[in-house]
Amino acid sequence: MTISLADAYPPVTVVVGPKAPVQAPAEEVPLRFTGQAGEYFRIWIINVLLTVLTLGIYSAWAKVKNKQYFYRNTWLRDSSFEYVANPLAVLKGRLVIGAVLGLVAAAQYYNAYLYAGAVVGLLVLMPWVLAKALAFNARNSAYRNVRFSFMGSPGEAYGRYLKGGLVYAVTCGLGMPYLQFQITDYVVTNHTYGLERFRWSRTWNDFLRVFLLSLGVSFAILVPVVIVIAGVVGLAKQGGSQVDPRLITGAVFAVYPLFIIPYAYSRAKTANLMYDGLCIGPHWLRSRQEFLPLLKLLAGNLVGIVLSLGLLVPWAKIRLARYRVECLTAFIQGSLETHANELSGAQAAYGDAMSDLGDMGIDLG
């Protein structure tokens, strides 16, 4: 799946389609990112340390600070974005969901059938988690003191998953882009900034194109890899008696990083699908992520993280965030003014905690 909650919210503020009646030429405003790896490293390492020393309790504060750091360093015109979630709400969600997931994990060792049932139960919850997590995130995201919101109901999420999932099942997986489209459309069109609803003009054909191209890139990598491994194994078999299993394991580990290539391709194209042409009121966004620069960046991040045993995680996150933000340009017609909408009460953080802790495949980007 290619929807990321983080993606759902890089600050987006603008509206009206590129083809909407144009009164005045729109002003081109690139988004800017001002985060610094060194500064973020110090915040991050203290977050991790306190999280470990408090046996996870501090993770709620750590999450909020992390998001605040990236939001506040993302600028559109002369204002930065803001994340205002209450760490106590995040903590409450994490404690409850942590307990639930802990019980499910314990079931794994307790009773195999109970565990299988619990896992299926969690999967059934996924649309609900998506709706609730998006609502929590949007409600706590602000720009110029006006909050975003997410209007999508869990019911609609179930409908979209059902429709997409049915096509997916009937076509034996080839309907994947349709499912992706249904979910992304649900995510995008239900967001608002103040009173302005997000709009876009993507169809599932756009997703099909990206899906097929990504598949093509994957095969272009996979086929030579399989041939080389088969060749090596064949040679070893001819030459001697048995094939050392370590040889195969080693070969698999050696080629595994190659799959970052189709990943980078699909990631760049999917991000553009989502943001390019996204409209908010009379303004719109342009997103120009590109395959090769993103591949270079992700490969560098991977090498850096592995060689530094994880100490370069903050550096990697800053680089990636900078790239994503700086590929965005807002086209602004007139001023950025909108009004706050009537906010419903505070959102509980259960869905948010579930998507954070449960690793339910909602992230990926």
Partner 1 sequence: MVASSGAGEAEPKAKTSLGSFRAHYYDGISSKTHDVEVQVEGNQALLIVGEGLARRVNQDEIRISPRLGNTARSIVFIDGAKCETLDNAAVDALAESWGRGRRLSFLHRIESNRRPAVFAVFILAAVIAGGFRWGVPMLATRVAYWVPKAAVYDLGQGTLEMLDATLFKPSKLSDEVQDRLRVAFGRMAIKYPDLPLSLTFRSAHMPNAFALPNGVVVVTDELVELAEKDDEVMAVLAHEIGHVHHRHAIRMALESSTMALLIGAYLGDATQISSAIAVVPTIYAQSTFSQAHETEADEFALAFLKQAGISPRNFVTILEKLTREIGGKANEKGMLRYLASHPPTEERLRQFRE
CB 174 within 8 A of CB 139: no
CA distance 34 to 205: 36
Question: What sign results for the dihedral spanned by CA atoms 282, 85, 184, 318?
Answer: positive
**Entry field: residues in the chain:** 365
Phi, psi of 46, deg, nearest 5: -70, -40
109: helix, strand or coil: helix
Window 159 to 188, contacts with partner 1 (CB under 8 A): none
Q: Which of 108, 171 has the CB closer to partner 1?
A: 108
Window 251 to 280, contacts with partner 1 (CB under 8 A): 256, 260, 263
Q: Which of 115, 158 has the CB closer to partner 1?
A: 115
Residue 228 binds partner 1 (CB under 8 A): no
Q: Which of 133, 167 has the CB closer to partner 1?
A: 133
CA distance 299 to 317: 13
Give the H/E segment covering residue 113: helix 112-139
Window 90 to 109, contacts with partner 1 (CB under 8 A): 105-106, 108-109
Give the H/E segment covering residue 193: strand 191-193
Q: Which of 20, 22, 52, 88 binds partner 1 (CB under 8 A)?
A: 52
Q: Which of 338, 347 has the CB closer to partner 1?
A: 338
Q: Which of 10, 194, 351, 358 binds partner 1 (CB under 8 A)?
A: 194
Rg (CA), the chain: 22
Q: Which of 175, 194 has the CB closer to partner 1?
A: 194
> Considering only CA atoms, which of 184, 185, 183, 174 is closest in space to residue 208?
174
Q: Which of 39, 185 has the CB closer to partner 1?
A: 39
For the bound state, the minimum distance from the C-beta of residue 360 to partner 1, rounded and expressed in Å, comes to: 13
Residue 298 binds partner 1 (CB under 8 A): yes
Residue 344 binds partner 1 (CB under 8 A): no
Residue 326 binds partner 1 (CB under 8 A): no
Window 124 to 143, contacts with partner 1 (CB under 8 A): 143
> Considering only CA atoms, which of 340, 254, 348, 264 is closest in space to residue 299?
264
Residue 288 binds partner 1 (CB under 8 A): no
Q: Which of 57, 95, 215, 305 binds partner 1 (CB under 8 A)?
A: 305
